[in-house]
Amino acid sequence: MTITDTTTISDIAAALPSSIRVFQRYGVDFCCGGKKPLGIVCRERNLDFAEIAAAIATSTAGPREERDWSQEPLGTLISHILTTYHEPLREELPRLGTMAAKVAQVHGGKAPAFERVRVLVAELATDLLAHMQKEEVVLFPAIDANEASVPPTFPIAGPIAAMEHEHDDAGALLAELRAVTEDYEPPPWSCATVRALYHGLAELESAMHVHVHLENNVLFPRALRLAAAANS
């Protein structure tokens, strides 16, 4: 793949899965903000375009650790999303919520930001659990039906747009969590629970970025192209 300053982040991440680690290392949004050209993102963040392009090229030279989801059946990709992201989130979100509530109750007087962390984690959990349910009950079965050449009962463009909007909302909550926690750096006096909470939130953010990338930049565009071809 030839990368120019007009190549979008989403196109790079979809075609070269190894580039995701590069984007994460440089703090480049490859999921919700993935539709921006790499050159513009570099200028906005004062990053060296040549340096990042070289890092991406180097990343592709090593052993391939990621499956090329742009070539896998959509049903296989959906199964991967459910197993790798949806199921763990249903376990992890309540755990993080419990820790955030405990930290706010015990240490809120010393660090008022902990109460905001509690609110953000609770809101994120509520939103994501409802979001995943809608995908699993409505959107994913429709995509499966399209791939199986069974006409769905409704167009998928509307639900996909709604899911992308909800991804943006989740991304905003994650961005605020990173800001409130000062990049998930616990205060020096933190107890084990605070450190575990911050570590868990950092891991959640990292997984969510890949999760949203696979849906926004790979699954949804391919599903829309398939639906358009079926209706042409």
Per-residue model confidence (pLDDT) at position 29: 84
Could you list the mean pLDDT of each consecutive 10-residue stretch along the chain, which spans 232 residues? 89 85 85 86 92 87 68 94 95 95 93 96 97 96 86 82 96 96 93 93 93 95 87 68
What span, in angstroms and rounded, lies between the C-alpha atoms of 154 and 139?
A: 10
Classify burial at 203, counting beta carbons within 10 Å of its beta carbon; exposed 0-12, middle 13-18, buried 19 or more: middle
**Which tokens hold the place of 168?**
């943006």
Backbone angles phi, psi at 158, to 5 degrees: -65, -55
What's the pTM? 0.81
CA 148 to chain CA mean position, Å: 27
Per-residue model confidence (pLDDT) at position 125: 97
DSSP tag of 66: S
Closest C-alpha to 140, from 88, 87, 76: 76
What span, in angstroms and rounded, lies between the C-alpha atoms of 192 and 199?
A: 10
What span, in angstroms and rounded, lies between the C-alpha atoms of 148 and 142?
A: 10
Q: Are 53 and 3 in contact (CB under 8 A)?
A: yes
Q: Are 103 and 119 in contact (CB under 8 A)?
A: no
User: Residue 214 half-sphere exposure, CB side, CA atoms within 13 Å?
Assistant: 24
